[in-house]
Structures are given as structure tokens and as C-alpha cells.
Amino acid sequence: MKGKFLIGHEVTSRAVQCGNDYSCLSGAGECLCEVLDALGSEVIFVRPLNPCCTYMSRFGYSSICHCPARKEIYRRYHR
């Protein structure tokens, strides 16, 4: 899926710790970790592109994304 991801300001305002200037929203695949599995739309397991992301945490051998913007992309676009 190419093209820009559109999410509301209320979501990006909760992702203030983003160190990548919301590059995931460009749709170019920059800093858009691959979702491997999900529990609903609140817990997403990812293959991290940037292991230093402030919104990523390790859970055993898995990585969980806590970024509000990434979760919204997953909810809206299933990406």
C-alpha cells in the first residue's frame, strides 16, 4: 500500500516521543515496523526497524509497539 496514512492530530499528539518525525505516516515504509501479530488493536507485536524506538518494548523473544500513531495505522489500514 503506497500513499500517505491519514490519522488525526489527537493521535499524533499522544505520540510526542517520536524520534522519527512521524515518518511512518508518509506511507513510504520508513520506520513502519512490520506487524507480526496482534491482540485486538491495542497490543501489536512487531519486527522492529529501529531497535532504539522509545515506543518499543521487549516481551520475551517478541517486540511490542506502544506507539499511538503506529497502532492507529494498524487499526485503520491493517498494515
CA 6 to chain centre: 13
Domain assignment of residue 2, yes or no: no
Residue 1's pLDDT is what? Answer: 43
Domain enclosing residue 51, as ranges:
9-77
Domain-located, residue 69: yes
CA triple 25-78-41, angle to 5 deg:
100
pTM of the model: 0.86
> d(Cα 22, Cα 34) in Å, to the nearest integer?
16
Tell me how far apart the alpha carbons of residues 6 and 16 are, in angstroms, rounded to a whole number. 17
CA distances from 58 to 14, 33, 50, 54 (A): 21, 14, 13, 11
Look at the chain and report how many structural domains it folds into.
1
The whole-number mean pLDDT for each consecutive block of 10 residues of the chain, a chain of 79 residues, reads 79 90 81 91 89 88 94 91
